[in-house]
Structure formats: C-alpha cells, structure tokens
Amino acid sequence: MTGRTREIGRTGLRVPTFGLGCATLGGSRYPVTRDEAEAVLRHAWHQGVRYVDVAPYYGYGAAERRVGDALRDRPRVEWVLSTKVGRRLVPRADSPPGPTGTPRPLPFDAVYDYGYDGVMRSVEHSLQRLGLDRIDMLLVHDIGAQVHGDEHPPRMRELREGGYRALRELRDGGAVRAIGLGVFEREVCLEVLAWGQWDLFLLAGNYTLLGQHALDDLLPACERHGVSLVIGSPLNAGILAGGELWNYREPTPQVRARVQALRATCADFQVPLMAAALQFPLAHPAVAAVVCGPRTPAELDQNLAALRYPVPRELWAALVHQGLLDRRAPVPSPDRR
C-alpha cells in the first residue's frame, strides 16, 4: 500500500487518503463496458491506488464483478476494499434501464433489505461476485429520510433491530474490520450515532468546497465518538471539475454562481479548482480519505495530479475572506494533505 494512510476509527485498519469509487464503473448510470472499467482499475493499481469502494447497486452486480476480475490476483493484504449492504439483488429478466436510461449490465433488480438475514445474504453474494474471501469495510447503503421518505422510520427500525446485529457479528467475528454507513445525508449519520457503535461514515457530496454544514454537527460528533469520515463525491458529481451536474442533478443558479466565484478565486492563485476541491476535505482531522469515481484512466490521472498540486495557504485565506469557505474549517498544510 503506497502513499499516506489514515486510521479508520479505532480499528487499526488504515486506508490511503485517496480511494477509487466504482459507481460509474458499474455502467448503469453512464455507458461503461467491462473492458473500460477493468482498464481504469488496472491503471489505478499501477498508479498506486490501494483503496477501492464498490456496492452491489453499482451496475446491479456488475461493478463488484469487475472489481474482482481486475484485482483478484493482487495480494489482498496490499489493498483495502469497502462494499455495501441494504440493497439486495434479485433476478429480473425484464429489468428496466438504469437511472439515466442506460441498459442494465446484469439482469437484476435491487430491493431494500436492512434486516439481519438480508445483510448476511448480501455479504455472501458480494463475496461471490467479487471472488474474494474478505471485505474490509462494510457500509449500510442509502438509508435516510431523503431516500425513504415516510418509510424511513420502519427502515431504520429494521436496521437497528436486525441489520446492525449482523454488522456487529461480522465485525466481532473478524469477517470485516470496520462498519458504517454509505449515504448522502449527514442527518442519518447523527441519528445512528445515538444508538450504535460505528467506525466510519462514507458521506457523499457533503463537506466540500460547496458546503461545510457538517462543521455544525457531524464532524464534531465524529471526533467525540472516534468515527472516521470518508468524503465521497468531493467534486459534487463533477461540477467542481468543470462538469455540468451538481450532486447528479441540475445545479441551481446559486450553486452555479458559487462555483464561478470559487473558480475565479482559484484562478487568481493559478490553482485549478479541482485541486483545491480534492485537497480541502483532507485537512479535517476526522476525515480519513476522499473517494472519486473517474470513468477513464485519464480522469483518474487528473484526480491524482490535482491531489499533488501545490496550493498556497493564501488561497484558503482568500476563500474565507470572500465568504466562500467557513472560517472554522481546517485548511490543508504540507503535513495534512
């Protein structure tokens, strides 16, 4: 495992500060073939990337198969893998297209299941798709009020009374080393902290240059409880890298204006906005890693170059002065990047 690593919670498990997210590599949101996905995975390995995040939902099983096929022969002690539970795959021959109209790579549908048996079956099936004997970090996928609406209370009760017991058994028995959530909502992370013992939260689209509301509650809570935060989608689904989408939807005029202001200030210091965006979350002591989802080897190289790009401290001060960055936010320094 190369590069800097940080501990996940109090588990002793250390992860690199950059992880490869495989949502795009499943090929259900954007057309990505098996060969294209495995090319990204192999290139990531050769570039020293040793942390991979996947889920059954990504490509309805295809992403896990592609990760396993590309990395199965690599020494397992040299890389860290996280996958997820909460959506169980069931066969469906007439499966509809994916979220953006792309045909599903595999003929499965996903059903929510946060119960004890559902979690255990999901882990068993993930190991079979991956062709591996171990998962390092196991995350509950997409639980929260924004996802489930009025169904959130019974879904959370299902997790608390069933799925959480399975997670604890898997961790206590050594089948996994860390457990947590993989979500978009910081509120649900705060909710489960009240009753569970967690090691990490993979929080997507939050605590980025576009918003630091997690400083109000979640980040202090993580520090108190000894829980690590992994920031998924630190580029807010691409808008901080020149893309058109903001958290997988059309940006509001306010978001567009904020991005333009961030880009202009970064340009004043000859710093690409992507570089500032990827480096910023890693300055907080509760943050263990950022996870990006490149679709090509070239996009991966851009991510890695942005992480190494020299950013002067004066840029962060300018962003604070202009009201574009919360003054409470820790900012990167040479020893915390």
Note whether residue 326 is domain-resident.
Answer: no
Note whether residue 44 is domain-resident.
Answer: yes
Give the SS3 label for residue 318: helix
Q: pLDDT by residue (tens digit) across 166-215?
A: 999 999 999 999 999 999 999 999 999 999 999 999 999 999 999 999 99
pLDDT of residue 29: 79
Give the SS3 label for residue 271: coil
Dist CA 193 CA 190 (whole Å): 5
Q: pLDDT by residue (tens digit) across 22-58?
A: 999 998 778 899 999 999 999 999 999 999 999 999 9
Note whether residue 329 is domain-resident.
Answer: no
Task: Give the pLDDT band (50/70/90) at residue 336.
Answer: low
Q: Looking at the predicted structure, is the pLDDT value of residue 335 above 60?
A: no
Average pLDDT over residues 55-82: 96
Q: What is the DSSP string of 84-132?
A: EESEEEEE-TTPPP-TTSPPPSSSEEEEE--SHHHHHHHHHHHHHHHT-
* pTM for the structure as a whole: 0.95
Residue 249 structure tokens: 């939807």
Note whether residue 206 is domain-resident.
Answer: yes
Tell me 254's DSSP state: H
Q: Looking at the predicted structure, is the pLDDT value of residue 145 above 50?
A: yes
Note whether residue 2 is domain-resident.
Answer: no
Q: Looking at the predicted structure, is the pLDDT value of residue 121 above 90?
A: yes
**Containing domain of residue 97, as a range?**
14-321
pLDDT of residue 1: 46
More confident residue, 335 or 268: 268
Q: Which residues are catalytic?
A: 53, 58, 84
pLDDT of residue 246: 82
Average pLDDT over residues 237-254: 85
Q: Which helix (H) or strand (E) holds 145?
A: helix 145-148
Strands (E), the chain: 5-7, 14-16, 18-21, 51-53, 80-85, 87-91, 108-112, 137-141, 178-183, 200-204, 228-232, 287-292
> What CATH number corresponds to the domain at position 82?
3.20.20.100
Note whether residue 7 is domain-resident.
Answer: no
* Domain count for the chain: 1
Note whether residue 6 is domain-resident.
Answer: no
Residue 186: alpha-carbon gap to chain centroid: 13
Note whether residue 76 is domain-resident.
Answer: yes
- Angle 62-71/34-46 helices, nearest 10 degrees? 50
